[in-house]
Structure 1
Amino acid sequence: MDEDQLDRIIRLPKAELHLHVEGAAPPAFIRGLAKEKSVNLSGVFREDGSYAFRDFVHFLSVYEAATSVLKTPEDYARLTRAVLEESAANDVIYCETFLSPDFCGGGDVSAWQDYLHAIRETAEAAERDLGITLRGIVTCIRHFGPDKAKLAALCAAETAGDWLVGFGMAGDENKGRQRDFAYSFDMAREAGLRLTSHAGEWRGPSEVREAVEDLGVERIGHGVRAVGDPAVVEMLAERGIVLETCPGSNVVLGVYPRLADHPVQRLREAGVKVTVSTDDPPFFHTTMRREYETLARTFGWDEADFLDITRTALDAAFCDDATRETLKKRLPT
């Protein structure tokens, strides 16, 4: 692949379905906010200014420590703008971001509505200014437990609509079972929200099957461990379940030792619908352009492959059909 072809690939319009808003916070933004609020974040950053963590569990604690400086709707408005500016600079035209009422108002519906209003208002301004469309997905936090998840689902149900379009689950996959959260997913489904859940990042194929069969999700966050069971891979392909893969994240966290070992190519070849996202990009030293570049270099994907990935993401997006069709018109033919 020559450099001109690679340059065209990394500049293609992109759609990202798996992005945690706090996890996308530039380190300088968090440090600046901490300084404004006189919050001590010692241990959160390395000497070079990047986020410091040893493994997945430590990553979660650093993530929550960094998030602790985000205390008001205005903080989240500023964060949303910073995140969307970075996404737009990477040619992202559509993005869905995970939002947790646990971090935005402590699970209180009234407080959550204030946070959501600030985020949405900022997103609408960014769409006018930057040409990037954002939609929100409420996530419960798995390691906070099922009772907290019910509060998150209530917040989601009370604000479901044309902007808040989905419900899902993030957090430590090694805590509890998918089915423990069925009540919350049922509540969200009844409110008209579409469903996704982190599964198969750390636990095996049975975790992916459980998310599909017990929670009724139509997308899976990560899902890469499904590759260990041909029957689960076949189920994903037959049911059209879409995987929100995050290859760079998986390599940095040690799910796979190197990108060449990542199963995204094998899953595509097996007929599974896959998309590409950054997850928590500054934590994992990645961007959407970098994901495209490394995938192209590693697997030899060309422009047609990446346009197929983007169309898959737009087809799987939780936005309304009119928004989807408008976005598709921005893709090269």
Structure 2
Amino acid sequence: MTDKFSSDFINALKNHDTQTLLSIPKSDVHNHIGRGCRVEWLSERMNHTFAKPPAVFDGLQGMQDWYVNNIRDYCRAHDNKQADTRREGCFVEAGRNHLARFAPSFSASDIEDYGSLQAFCDYYDALHKKYCPDAVYEPELAFASYEDIEPALVQAEEYFSSGYFKSIDVCCGEGYKPFSDYIPLYRIAEKYGVLKRMHVGETGTAEEIEEAIETLGLDEIHHGINAVNSSKVMKLLADRKITLNVCPTSNIKLGYAKSYAEHPIKILVENEVPVTINTDDLLVFDSSIDEEYQHLYDAGTLTAEQLDEIRCWGISNRIEK
């Protein structure tokens, strides 16, 4: 799979041509809105130099602790509009990187910050129009894996029925509940025709990826890198064309992958598992989408041609409004 930008993209990777990489359409469909801006951009807006992240965090909790202590708490203390600033920066970055497909993930509390669903939609539609109007905008609604299901069902019914959200996700750690507990939530999503995603297989097993797919009818997986431990699961993903939305730098900095050179994406691609490349939490992991591609090329993980195929897949697999 190629497009009219493929030759330029391949050459840009080989020549470390950042400006051309930035100008070529890409996708980012695994992107948490409150942490989706560049730290340089936030520093300039807040006139403050934020600490650089460590080479490797002590897992998810270590990452969260670092984020709270080094970024979130400072923002809350110095800017009453800090959440809007960080969220706005996510759209700024989508424009800077010429995203053709952009799926920022929101929580119900993000919506509640604006007082009503309509006010929320109006605010983010305006950011989309201002900063990245050429991107197909696919807002995702995410639920915390540990939270009570009953309140989430009420929220899901209201918010998915609006037609605004294009996908569902369950995130914030694996293994809190049996997958079967989430069936009512995913049935609501299915009723309204949204894409069904879940964070699974980042820390969990390949077998749990398969169980989640079969139990919830997932269309895509956020992370899913531990599928490499099972030929059976990789074949299932390849045969059903279930895309894994992979975040290489996130995996490395959380200690779930050793390096770019040894990242599981290489084995996934070799086994014809569909993948996209994404940022996860740019503000924390400090690697923008153009840099993610460049890192994998420089490490010899994938060829420039393979990376271009991934780029094209991420764009072509977009959800039309």
Corresponding position of 1:58:
62
Corresponding position of 2:119:
114
Corresponding position of 1:138:
141
Aligned-partner SS, 1:167: strand
Aligned-partner SS, 1:254: coil
RMSD, matched Cα:
3.3
Corresponding position of 1:245:
246
Aligned-partner SS, 1:186: helix
Cα drift, residue 179 of structure 1 = 2.3
Is 1:219 the equivalent of 2:220?
Answer: yes
- Return the letter of the residue paired with 1:291: E
Change in Cα spacing, 1:123 to 1:222, as seen in structure 2 (3 Å) is same
Change in Cα spacing, 1:20 to 1:48, as seen in structure 2 (3 Å) is closer
TM-score, normalised via structure 1 length:
0.79
Aligned-partner SS, 2:111: coil
Is 1:98 the equivalent of 2:101?
Answer: no
Q: Retained in 1: the 8 A contact 2:276–2:314?
A: yes
Deviation digits for residues 136-176 of structure 1, max 9, x if unmatched? 01111112232343244224323224xx2111111111322
- Return the letter of the residue paired with 2:145: R
Corresponding position of 1:16:
28
Q: Retained in 1: the 8 A contact 2:222–2:245?
A: yes
Q: Retained in 2: the 8 A contact 1:76–1:118?
A: no
Q: What does 1:295-314 correspond to in 2, within 5 Å?
A: 295-299=296-300, 301-314=302-315
Counting aligned pairs with the same residue, the percent is 19
Deviation digits for residues 67-116 of structure 1, max 9, x if unmatched? 9949xxx766544432122232234232111111133317x9x6344223
Q: What does 1:39-78 correspond to in 2, within 5 Å?
A: 48-50=50-52, 54-60=58-64, 66=72, 69=76, 78=85
Corresponding position of 2:150:
147
Q: Retained in 2: the 8 A contact 1:80–1:122?
A: no
Is 1:86 the equivalent of 2:88?
Answer: no
Change in Cα spacing, 1:118 to 1:27, as seen in structure 2 (3 Å) is same
Q: Retained in 1: the 8 A contact 2:35–2:87?
A: no
- Structure 1 distance, partners of 2:150, 2:104, is 23
- Structure 1 distance, partners of 2:197, 2:132, is 24
Higher relative contact order (CA 8 A, sep 6+): 2
- Return the letter of the residue paired with 1:103: D
| Unaligned ranges ≥5, structure 1 | 36-44, 321-333
- Return the letter of the residue paired with 2:208: E
- Structure 1 distance, partners of 2:62, 2:33, is 19
Aligned-partner SS, 1:291: helix
| Unaligned ranges ≥5, structure 2 | 1-9
Deviation digits for residues 214-272 of structure 1, max 9, x if unmatched? 11111100010111111111111111100001111000000012122211011111111
- Return the letter of the residue paired with 2:264: P
- Structure 2 distance, partners of 1:75, 1:104, is 15
Change in Cα spacing, 1:137 to 1:2, as seen in structure 2 (3 Å) is closer
Aligned-partner SS, 1:95: strand
- Candidates 163, 170, 175, aligned match of 1:160: 163
Q: Retained in 2: the 8 A contact 1:6–1:293?
A: no
TM-score, normalised via structure 2 length:
0.82
Cα drift, residue 281 of structure 1 = 1.1
Q: Retained in 2: the 8 A contact 1:17–1:317?
A: no
Change in Cα spacing, 1:31 to 1:48, as seen in structure 2 (3 Å) is closer
Deviation digits for residues 32-53 of structure 1, max 9, x if unmatched? 9999xxxxxxxxx9x8534686
Q: Retained in 2: the 8 A contact 1:200–1:207?
A: yes
Change in Cα spacing, 1:152 to 1:315, as seen in structure 2 (3 Å) is farther
